[in-house]
Amino acid sequence: MAATRAWTTIDFEKDGKQSDYMRVPFSSDKSAYGWIPVPMICIRNGDGPTALLTAGNHGDEYEGQIALLELARTINTEEIRGRIIILPALNYPAVVSGRRVSPLDEGNLNRLFPGDADGGPTAMIAHYVETELFPLSDIVIDLHSGGKSLDHYPVALARPGLNPETTAKIRTLLEAFGAPYSVVTTGEGGGAGSTLYAAAEQHGIPALTTELGSGGTLSARGLSIAANGVRRVLRAYGIAPSVVTEDSAKTKFMRSLSRSGSVYAPRGGLFEPWVECGANVVKGQEAGLLHSFEDPLAQPLKLVFEVDGVVICRRFPTLTERGDCLYSLMVEVS
């Protein structure tokens, strides 16, 4: 791959707590030779494993952003054995505008991996993570939430792994993080191979992602899962062996049903959901109504679940267009 055009003043091999930016060149009307300041903190204390911790990959998902800001501020170099690299606002232009995607190029960072050294700013961020940060990393955690368009049950998610060895390592990482549910994704829904955690999987690095909250606001429960989960991982891997954190209940392993378990809007309208996230549903159960505003006297369309499962997310806004995902399901695995 081509060399990155982004740079930083951080020396990743130096001990101590350093704060600078991934400096992403961006030439605009306002700033011909300027760069986008993507915040980056490196905390290193001698040899040991490296954890790469990211949030704000989507700008309107907040639990991870706050958990990582808090971690970067409060954890001391002396507590570390090895290295933590923290990017709490990874798609910085999206974060500062409160949007899922970047206002500069409409780039959805979690659909642009492995990125492009000479692409738009969002593809350049992906490429920097891919070529500069992954080679330094032993584990990767990318914290997401439902954002403005989804109500999401708090879960950790991971890819199945490329071989039995990485599958076992990913399972160890999920158990250490300790979310209530750990969901193995099939790759047919969401971002498939173009996400940060799928890109990490391609490098053989154990990686997990999360969905922790809803509707572009902050969930106290989601924030607690993020903050404690990251600390549990740092403790379990010996990177912060004595860090204080809450113990979790044993995580329950699930499998996402993606397309086969999703209810999509067959047409536009106003969505009236009848089922909450986390609920058990069965095949044929009524999921809600879709009201037509174009044909006011028509009966609303009744939506049903096609398979049994647990509701992992539902659409948050009421206004709905054909093709919107209204519900997604997960099922327990042994």
**Contact pick of 23, 58, 127, 232 for Zn ion (by CB under 5 A):** 58
Q: What residues numbered 219-278 form the site for Zn ion, per CB under 5 A?
A: none
Q: Which amino acid is at 181?
A: Y
Min dist CB 213 to Zn ion, Å, is 10
Q: In the complex with Zn ion, which residue's Cβ is closer, 161 or 216? A: 216
Q: In the complex with Zn ion, which residue's Cβ is closer, 23 or 144? A: 144
> Residue 300: phi, psi to the nearest 5?
-60, 150
Q: Which stretch binds Zn ion (CB under 5 A): 19-27, 33-41, 60-68, 294-302?
A: 60-68
Q: Exposed (0-12), middle (13-18) or buried (19+): which is 134, by Cβ within 10 Å?
A: buried
By rule CB under 5 A, what count of residues binds Zn ion? 3
Min dist CB 157 to Zn ion, Å, is 11
Min dist CB 60 to Zn ion, Å, is 8
Q: How far apart are the C-alpha atoms of 26 and 8, rounded to whole Å?
A: 15
SS3 263: strand
Q: In the complex with Zn ion, which residue's Cβ is closer, 184 or 236? A: 184
99 binds Zn ion (CB under 5 A): no
Q: What residues numbered 119-158 form the site for Zn ion, per CB under 5 A?
A: 144
Q: In the complex with Zn ion, which residue's Cβ is closer, 105 or 306? A: 105
**Cα distance between the two ends of the chain:** 40
The footprint of Zn ion (CB under 5 A) covers 58, 61, 144
